[in-house]
Structure 1
Amino acid sequence: MSFIKHRSKPDELKVLESLNERMNLSVKEKNDLSNLAKGFEGEQKFDEWLITLSNDWNILNDLRFDWNNTYYQIDSLSLLSETIHLFEVKNYEGDYYIENDTWYSVKGLEINNPFLQLMRAESLLRRFIKNLGFKYSIESYLIFINPEFHLYHAPRNQQIIFPTQLPRFMNNLSKKTSKIAKNHTQLIEQLLSSHLTKSPYKRIPKYTFDSLKKGVVCMKCRSFINSFRKISLVCSQCGYKESVTSAVLRSIDEYMILFPEKKITRSTIQEWCKIIPKKTLQKILSNNYEQIIDGKNTHYIVCNKSFN
C-alpha cells in the first residue's frame, strides 16, 4: 500500500478547534465542530485499515473536485489494476433506521442519505475521468467505521460495509491481484492537479483578532497556560510540560491558520502569546523564520528552517 496523498486535519476543523478555546461558539457551531472532529477521526481509523493492504494499492485521501460547476469530495480513493475503489467513510454512532428510502436517527430526525452521497460522487468521478480520456471501472463502498453504529431495516447492499463486516471486507480486498496499468501515473497526476486545496464550503463564525482570547493553549488539556519559565511552560491544570520554543511555534501556527492574510510581527505575536517576554520571542522568531525588513516595519515569513 502506498499513500500517494496523505490525509491531514481540515483547516475548517483547525479553525473551529481554536475558536472554541478563544471565543464562545453557538450551539450550532459546537455541533459543526463535533461533527467535523468525529468525521476526521473516522477517516483516520479507516486509514489504519488501508495500511494493511499490499504495496500494489495506491491510495489518495481527501480529494475535492469542482467539475462542471459541481463540487464533490472523496474520502479515500484507491487504484488497483484498472479499477478505482471509492470509499465514503461515516463515523456515525448510535442507532439509525431507514423508512421508505429515507434515513433517520433513532430520535426520528431525518439525515442526508449517505448512500446517495456515495452514488453522486461515483457518477461525477466517472464522468470526470472519462472526460480526461481514461477508462477505469469504479467500485464504490459506504464504510461505517464506528463499532457502536447500528442501522435498522438495512438493505441487502454489498456496497454498504458495516463495522462487523470490515475485517472480512478488507481481507477480501487484500486478496485481489494486481495487473500492471500503464496509465496509473498519468491518472494520479491528473487527480492531484485537479484537487481543490481549499473547500468552497466553510462553517466558520465571524471573528477578529481583538475579539479572541489571547494566550498559549496547553497542547494536552487545551486550557490556557498562565506562567512562564525560561525554557519551558508548565500547565497548571494538567501539569503538561512543553518547551517555550515548541509552544510559541505552535501558537504562531495557530495564528497563521486563523489569520492567513495577516503578517507575522513581533508585537502581534507577543500580544497573541501574551505570557512570552519580548527578548525570548524575538530569538524564537529570528531562529525559525525569515526576517523581512520593509522600511521601518519588520515582519517574518516561513522559510526552510521553520518548524514542521
Structure 2
Amino acid sequence: MVIISSSYHRPYSQELELLRILNRRSTLTEKQRNRLKQLEIGLAGEVFVDNKLKPYSEILTVIPDIIMQINHTHIQIDTLILSPTSIYLFEIKNYFGNYEITEDGYWLSPKHNYILNPLIQLERTQSLVRQLLAEAHVSVELLQGYVLFPDPSFTLYGAKQTMPIIFSSQLDSFFKQISSKLHNQFSQQKVIERIDYYRLVSSPFTKLPDINTMMIRPGVLCFFCFSPMTKSSQRTFKCTDCQKIESAQNALKRTYDEYTRIYQDHSTSLQSFHQYTDKQFSYSTIHRFLRNC
C-alpha cells in the first residue's frame, strides 16, 4: 500500500512513459500527441494536489492512484484520504479555461463541446466504495466525495454551491480544515485492508499506443535534454547539445529501460539492443550487462 509522505513522488503511468519515449525517438501521430498532452496535464494536476497534501502527511493517511475491481466493475480513485473523522474521495480534473454547466446539467468545454459530467463519475465511484466500507464495518456516512479542480485559471459557470466541487483557491483551507480533528472515529486499518483486497496490480484502463518499430531512432539520448549523446571516454558519455556528462553504466541502463518498454512483448536479443544503442556499446559490454539484469 503506497501512502503519500513528504518524500513521495507519484509514478508515471505505463502509457505516459511509453508515449514520452516515442516522442523522443519517433514522430507521434496527432492522436498520440493529443493523448500525451492529456496525460501530462492530468499528472500535473495530481502532483499539484499531492504536494498540497504533503504537509499534512503525519495527520492524514493519503492513498494515491487506487484501481480496484468491485462487483465486476473497475474503478479508479485519484486520491483517497483517511482523516481521523472522515473518508474523502477525490476525482482530480486539471481543466483550465472557462467551462460551463448548462441549465439542463450538461458540461461544456471552452470550445463548447459536450464533455462527461465528472460528478456522475464521482457518484458511481462513491457507490462502490460505500460497499467496501460496509464490508469493513465502517459507517458509509463517513464517506465524502469531491471533484477537485487544481488549476487556478479554471472557471466553471453555472456551478452551484451545493455541488461537491473544490476549486484551486479552496484547496489549502479545505486540507487544513480536515486535518484539524485528531480523534479517530473509525478503524483506518480495516479500510486499508479492504482496499488491498480489491486492489488491482495493473490497470485495465491502460491502452498502449501502436508502435512502428521501423520509425524508432536509435542511439543514446541525453537524460536532460534528450539530444544524442556520444562516448567521451571509456566510462562516460557526453551530450552533443547541452554538454551534460553521464557515466556509461547509467547511460546503458537508461537506454535498456527504454528499449524494454518499447519492445516489451519481445525477449531482448544482443543484436537488436546493440542496434538500438546505435552500436555505441560493444557486444561484450551489453552481454555482461544483460547477464546481470
TM-score (norm 2): 0.87
C-alpha separation in 2, matches of 1:229 and 1:275 = 15
- The equivalent of 1:253 in structure 2 is 257
C-alpha separation in 1, matches of 2:39 and 2:57 = 30
- Is structure 2 residue 21 aligned with structure 1 residue 18? yes
Q: Deviations over 1:85-127 (max 9, x none)?
A: 1111121121211112111112111111122221221112112
Shift of 1:158: 5.6
CA contact 2:59–2:179 (8 Å) conserved in 1:
no
C-alpha separation in 1, matches of 2:116 and 2:265 = 35
- The equivalent of 2:169 in structure 1 is 164
Distance 1:149 1:200, change over 3 A: same
Amino acid at match of 1:76: T
Percent of residue pairs identical: 29
C-alpha separation in 2, matches of 1:132 and 1:261 = 39
- The equivalent of 1:119 in structure 2 is 123
Shift of 1:252: 1.2
Aligned residue among 73, 80, 84 for 1:81: 84
Give 3-state SS (helix, strand or coil) of 1:161's partner: strand
- Is structure 2 residue 182 aligned with structure 1 residue 177? yes
C-alpha separation in 2, matches of 1:209 and 1:132 = 48
Name which of structure 1's ranges 186-195 and 63-72 shifts more when overlaid on structure 2.
186-195
- Is structure 2 residue 26 aligned with structure 1 residue 29? no
CA contact 2:218–2:278 (8 Å) conserved in 1:
yes
CA contact 1:144–1:163 (8 Å) conserved in 2:
yes
- The equivalent of 1:3 in structure 2 is 4
Distance 1:180 1:106, change over 3 A: closer
Amino acid at match of 1:219: F
CA contact 2:60–2:179 (8 Å) conserved in 1:
no
Shift of 1:132: 5.1
Distance 1:284 1:245, change over 3 A: farther
Aligned ranges 1:190-201 → 2 under 5 Å = 190-201=194-205
User: What do you get for the CA RMSD once the two structures are aligned?
Assistant: 2.4
C-alpha separation in 1, matches of 2:132 and 2:116 = 24
C-alpha separation in 1, matches of 2:111 and 2:213 = 40
- Is structure 2 residue 221 aligned with structure 1 residue 217? yes
Give 3-state SS (helix, strand or coil) of 1:233's partner: strand
Q: Deviations over 1:258-284 (max 9, x none)?
A: 233333343332222214221673376
Amino acid at match of 2:125: A
CA contact 1:32–1:203 (8 Å) conserved in 2:
no
- The equivalent of 2:143 in structure 1 is 138
Gaps (5+ residues) in structure 1? 292-299, 302-308
Shift of 1:211: 4.3
CA contact 1:80–1:178 (8 Å) conserved in 2:
no
C-alpha separation in 2, matches of 1:239 and 1:280 = 27
Distance 1:29 1:206, change over 3 A: same
C-alpha separation in 2, matches of 1:60 and 1:36 = 20
C-alpha separation in 1, matches of 2:41 and 2:78 = 14
Distance 1:203 1:279, change over 3 A: closer
C-alpha separation in 1, matches of 2:213 and 2:202 = 22
CA contact 2:270–2:287 (8 Å) conserved in 1:
no
CA contact 1:53–1:173 (8 Å) conserved in 2:
no
Distance 1:174 1:158, change over 3 A: farther
CA contact 2:4–2:57 (8 Å) conserved in 1:
no
Shift of 1:191: 1.0
Give 3-state SS (helix, strand or coil) of 1:51's partner: helix
